Amino acid sequence: MPSANTKTDLPVKLTKHDLFQANWRWLWGSQICWNYERMMSTGYLFTMLPTLKKLYKNDQDLIEMMKMHNQFFNTNAYVGGFIVGMDMAIEEKQGRKAEDTVAGLKAGLMGPFAGVGDTIVGVILPTIFGSIGAYMGLKGNPTGAILWLLVNFAVLILRFFLLPLGYSQGEKLIYATGDKLNRITDAAILLGVTVVGALIPTVISANVPLVFKTGKVVLKAQTVLDQIMPSLVPVALVALCYWLLGKKRMNSTRLIVLVLILGIALGAFGIIGK
């Protein structure tokens, strides 16, 4: 049943306008005031605030629910609207009684949804379509840029439908899928790793131009490496970069500078070439 207005005891029903308002706020403000203490809590509260004001006419109930929604929350912004929609549906039905349920829902789903969203939207789509678009752009074909724009527009449109979907079907979907969200995340991660691995020999170009001569015998280092494993040097360089990123004092900026310095130095000595 919809939550009751504590002053008039009349049921409060959320409308399409309420869903649109929350959706719009999540799209533009899900990461406002992002911080390392509570991360997306302010954005989540900003999204839910009109709904909370409509559902809770009692000031004390409103304050307590605002405090609850301002607790730590962090997930992928593209798919997080689904959680917001589920939250709205539960609070509409149970009101203040749903406080513990909603808190548990947010804490339990933000991790799995972050894994799915980060992997698919943050890694797989940019890697696949970004590399295709960049490759076509390098060849002078403007279709690559158009493709990249179309993919981003498609993601935005899909994102806009997630919150209403979460409101109407979210609770049913979560109970039906159970632990399958973790399986989806693992499958998406595996696909992303496969795609990245396949892109290494096509995107990264690094050869060893060293040539060893003994009498009439000429031995090219790159030919030997190719016989061992094609694209061995690019794969080794990528593996080295991943290993360095695991070190405490290494970050992406320092790694980029280090790669540039090593590339210039090794290139100058003729050890590494394009």
Query: Do 75 and 105 belong together in one domain?
Result: yes
Q: What is the mean pLDDT of residues 8-27?
A: 82
Last residue of a domain, one of 199, 227, 247: 199
pLDDT, tens only, 112-158 = 888 888 888 887 888 888 888 888 888 888 888 898 899 889 888 88
Contact 93, 133 (CB under 8 A): no
For residue 273, what are the β-bridge partners? 207
Any domain includes 67: yes
Question: Based on the structure, what is the number of domains in the chain?
Answer: 2
Query: Do 135 and 256 belong together in one domain?
Result: no
Query: Do 78 and 129 belong together in one domain?
Result: yes
Residue 53 exposed, middle or buried by CB count within 10 Å (0-12, 13-18, 19+): exposed
Q: Residue 269: pLDDT band by 50, 70, 90 thresholds?
A: low
* Residue in the block written with tokens 């998406």: 188
Any domain includes 9: no
The pLDDT score that the predictor gives to residue 8 is 45
User: What is residue 3's three-state secondary structure?
Assistant: coil
Any domain includes 76: yes
The pLDDT score that the predictor gives to residue 1 is 46
Contact 95, 4 (CB under 8 A): yes
Q: What's the gap between Cα 223 and its chain centre?
A: 40
pLDDT, tens only, 212-264 = 777 777 777 777 777 777 778 788 888 888 888 888 888 878 888 888 888 78
- Structure pTM? 0.60
SS3 content of the chain, % helix, strand, coil (to 5): 70, 5, 25
pLDDT, tens only, 87-100 = 888 888 878 887 88
